[in-house]
Amino acid sequence: PAGAAVTAAAASGAQVLIATGGGGLTRLDVLSGGELAQGAHVQLDYEAACVDITPVGVGAVSPNGGAGGMEDGGAEPRARLALVGMWTDRSARVLELPTLRQLTSAELGGDTIPRSVLLAELEGAPYAMCALGDGSLVTFALDAATGALSERKSVSLGTQPITLRPFSSKGSTHVFAASDRPTVIYSSNRKVLYSNVNLSGAVSHMCPFSCGPFPDCLAMAAGGGLTVGTIDDIQKLHIRTVELGEQPRRLAHMESSRCFAVCTVNFG
């Protein structure tokens, strides 16, 4: 809308989604000549804090209405879902593209607003990720066909606002959480895991960076400088001590339920 201030925006291929002051949400299309054409527009009940339209799942819509999720038969996927983080009610909303019809909404909890949202597909499983201003991250399992959110989980990654950005490493998609404690979010055996990045100080932004001398690297803005580096083997050993209060004697692992059974003896 003319004269409206843009408060948040996201782009994917020829699709653009912008949030404007007062709760406006507008979809734009980038035409072949580079011009912008306004598509759907909706007025939300509250103002959007952050938006994302990263394509996930199957059945992405092509411009001519066909399936396959590619633009004009090319390699550029079309997003069919948008994720919006809201200011006032601190919720995450999933909207349908291209209509901007709301499909579902979920409360994020807490007293801080979402600062960054991301639709990501890890090991073939779609997720909706919402980073809050207090350094915590809320994740949902996403049904890419219906937009339904389930399996809410929350984890604290730091104490400062987080910015989420996807990247690819060794053919797999991962997520970089830039904050005072930068973290790589990845999936192993269909379980979301977190690995700290070996950097001193906070990282404010990250973007994938690849050129001749620096293939498959990441560019990270930290403090007053720019760091270019690679992510080593993300699969690391995570050690956590659990106080049982008794002597463990036998241990069994059930892979199907991802749990351990521990037989203990109390000598007290």
Please give the backbone phi and psi of residue 215, each rounded to the nearest 5 degrees, phi first. -75, 140
CA–CA gap between residue 20 and residue 40 (Å, rounded): 14
Give mean pLDDT, residues 231-242. Answer: 56
The answer, yes or no, to whether residue 220 has pLDDT greater than 80, is yes
- Give me the mean pLDDT over the 233-262 stretch: 71
**CB 94 within 8 Å of CB 103:** yes
Confidence band of 240 (pLDDT split at 50, 70, 90): low
Taking 50 as the threshold, does the pLDDT of residue 224 lie above it? yes
Query: How far, CA to CA in Å, does 131 sit from each of 13, 56, 96, 103, 234?
Result: 24, 18, 21, 21, 21
95: left (phi over 0), alpha (psi -120 to 50) or beta: beta
Within a domain: residue 163? Answer: yes
**Residue 154: φ, ψ to 5°:** -130, 140
pLDDT value of position 57: 82
Burial 124-142 (b: 16+ CB within 10 A, else e): ebbbbbbbbbbbbbbbbeb
CA atoms 227, 228, 229, 234: torsion sign? positive
Q: What pLDDT was estimated at residue 73?
A: 42
**pLDDT reading at 241 higher than 90:** no
CATH of the domain at 203: 2.130.10.10
Question: pLDDT tens digit string along 190-209?
Answer: 899 998 887 778 899 999 98
More confident of the two residues 140 and 234:
140
pLDDT higher than 80, residue 15: yes
Assigned domain for 262 exists: no
Q: Is residue 184 part of a domain?
A: yes
In a domain, 103, yes or no: yes
Please say if the pLDDT value at position 254 is more than 90: no
**Which whole number is the average pLDDT over 28-47?**
93
What is the total count of domains within the chain?
1
Whether residue 93 contacts residue 158, with contact meaning beta carbons closer than 8 Å, is answered with no
Q: Is residue 251 part of a domain?
A: no
Decide if 257 is inside a domain: no
Is the pLDDT confidence value at 52 over 80? yes
> pLDDT class for 136, splitting at 50, 70, 90?
very high
Residue 256 lies in a domain: no
The residue-averaged pLDDT of 104-130 equals 95
Residues of the domain holding 170: 6-239
pLDDT above 50: residue 60:
no
Task: Tell me whether residue 164 is in a domain.
Answer: yes
